[in-house]
Amino acid sequence: MLFNSVIFITIFLPFVLTGWYLLQRLENPAYGKVFLIGCSLFFYGYYNVSYLWILVVSLLWNYCVSEGFALLGKTPSEMGAQTPQASGGRSLRNRRFLLILGLSGNLGLLFYFKYFNFFIENCNWLLHTQIQIEEIALPLGISFFTFQQISFLVERYRGKAPRYAFLDYGCFITFFPQLVAGPIVLHDEFIPQLQGRLVRRPRADLFYRGVSLFILGLAKKVLLADVLGILVNAEFDNIAYLDCPSAWLTIVCYMLELYFDFSGYSDMARGLGRLFGFELPENFRSPLMAVSVKDFWRRWHLTLSRFLSAYIYIPLGGNRKGKGRQCLNLFLVFLASGIWHGADWTFIVWGLMHGLACIWETLFPRLRFKKDWANRIVTGLFVTLSFSIFRSDSLESAFLLWRKLFAGGMNGMLLGMCNVLQIPETYALRKLLEWKFPQALNAFFVICTALLLGISIRLVSGKRAEEWLEKKGQKPVGILLLATLFVWSLVSLSQVSTFLYFNF
């Protein structure tokens, strides 16, 4: 089920909210938790019921493994030890074996569904074999809920996560706002809230902030990302016909589309969390205003960056073992990031580009402009170019696109690209121009495209959604704007599109 659908907004969400808070009035909180898990599983299975067993098996496997740590005795933190080594050699070996077993299950599941065919294709190419490629559908959100459970297992091994009841753990993993595209939530960010009393009674201020944030996220998705996607999808399907200006417009539009799509989802997820009484972690912090590639990753997909830092970069030594080791660690982290995003060489090359850029900034920190605006332009240019590879269907398509960017000439394709932007909001005016002033149609489409770009760039360089809500969201003008955006977005839901990060 999609957040940006009429059935979710008008039926599913009101039903789940009503049931959740009615059941919270009972003395036993277990009823509400069972209800929330059931609704979350329905939400997940609604998209494709065949995916549901994968989520359930993954959840049960990881919970059983986490319970295994409890069967081995007290955790090191409960025994007053600082590390697992302090609890004895045999216990340490058992705990390590259990951790390896748990991680193997998670990574094996992820490898089979996401990377098996990619692995076979490359084996066939490298070894000249003819191994049959299987038809394997990618389960929705598998990267997100797998990483979330890996994090929990590692924390259980380290003795930094307590033993939780199954219903608490089930709510933590399946909570539908963050289930399929994040943010990647840690156990200590969610379960203590679930166990507390705050979620058992709706709060007007939290409820209003949740609704407002959801509306802003919905508007980002429906009114900006989906409209930009009209241009992007049309041109990425016709790269061979692009010229230099249209190629640049295409990759800029894609970068904006991806940002509004994913940050819109994250805003909606956090808004929904607040409706149920939960604060979910922030996932974006004005990333397109970054002054370096490192700064970009401190602002973009924050919960993934946090995961990769905590469970790959820091265990490898981080920046504690000299520049050379730090550069190797950065390289490995961004290689993992590229692989996480998808089973294709385009994602790997994209990840390595960002890794090499971060290595360059580590080795030559003073090779920067003195003005932040100049650094923002250079960083934005690099990020936009790298994400053009991220979007391409293959490395061949990416190389062709880059040739168009730097040696594509001019053939008037830019005007044709603008004419693709035919949205319902401009239908009446378009028909009027076709009838009375057909010679003005081209100029009209150029103006519409320029307005779309101008609004998008202004929004990515302005205040974050929550900053705007704090300052203007509760004033009459802000409330009127939110109501207008909601109605406009709801009317525009006739053509519902999935979120881009569902593919990852």
Domain boundary among 174, 201, 228: 201
Domain boundary among 201, 221, 239: 201
Question: What is the mean predicted confidence (pLDDT) over 182-195?
Answer: 92
Same domain, 415 and 475: yes
Same domain, 12 and 48: yes
Same domain, 66 and 138: yes
Chain position carrying tokens 């080791």? 325
Helix locations, 292-394, DSSP H: 293-297, 302-308, 322-341, 345-363, 372-391
Decide: 354 and 297 in contact? Cβ < 8 Å.
yes
Same domain, 128 and 243: no
Domain boundary among 167, 201, 235: 201
The span from the CA of 452 to the CA of 433, in Å, is: 20
Same domain, 72 and 175: yes
Same domain, 219 and 141: no
9: number of CA atoms within 13 Å, CB side?
17
Same domain, 221 and 160: no
More confident residue, 387 or 75: 387
Decide: 267 and 216 in contact? Cβ < 8 Å.
yes
| Selection from 32, 2, 7, 28 nearest residue 278 by Cα | 32
Q: Which residues are identified as catalytic? A: 341
What per-residue confidence (pLDDT) applies to 215? 95
| Selection from 46, 304, 98 nearest residue 182 by Cα | 304
Q: Is position 116 within any domain?
A: yes
CA dihedral 332, 335, 341, 343 (to 10 degrees): -130
Same domain, 182 and 284: no
What per-residue confidence (pLDDT) applies to 137? 80
What per-residue confidence (pLDDT) applies to 71? 82
Confidence of residue 81 (pLDDT cuts 50, 70, 90): very low
Decide: 425 and 418 in contact? Cβ < 8 Å.
no
Q: What angle do CA 373, 376, 379 make, to 5 degrees?
A: 155
Q: Is position 37 within any domain?
A: yes
If phi > 0 it is left, if psi is from -120 to 50 it is alpha, else beta; for residue 409 that is left
Same domain, 85 and 197: yes
What per-residue confidence (pLDDT) applies to 101? 95
Q: Is position 361 within any domain?
A: no
Q: Which domain holds residue 466?
A: 208-290+409-503
| Selection from 486, 504, 271 nearest residue 387 by Cα | 504
Same domain, 86 and 134: yes
Q: Is position 372 within any domain?
A: no
Same domain, 110 and 222: no
In the chain, the N- to C-terminal Cα span, in Å, equals 17
Q: Is position 386 within any domain?
A: no
Q: Is position 229 within any domain?
A: yes
| pLDDT per position as a tens digit, 384-439 | 999 999 999 999 999 999 999 998 888 888 888 888 888 888 888 888 888 888 88
What per-residue confidence (pLDDT) applies to 199? 57
The span from the CA of 31 to the CA of 23, in Å, is: 6
| pLDDT per position as a tens digit, 335-388 | 999 999 988 999 999 999 999 999 999 999 888 898 999 999 999 999 999 999
More confident residue, 76 or 354: 354
Q: What angle do CA 251, 3, 274 make, to 5 degrees?
A: 110
| Selection from 103, 80, 111 nearest residue 315 by Cα | 103
Cis preceding-peptide flag for 438 (omega within 30 of 0): no
Residues 6+ apart with CB under 8 A from 415: 442, 445, 446
> How many structural domains is the chain composed of?
2
Confidence of residue 84 (pLDDT cuts 50, 70, 90): very low
Q: Is position 215 within any domain?
A: yes
How far lies 378's CA from each of 236, 246, 290, 384, in Å?
24, 20, 10, 10
**Is 205's pLDDT higher than 60?**
yes
Question: What type of residue is 43?
Answer: F
The span from the CA of 406 to the CA of 426, in Å, is: 33
Same domain, 43 and 98: yes
Q: Is position 397 within any domain?
A: no
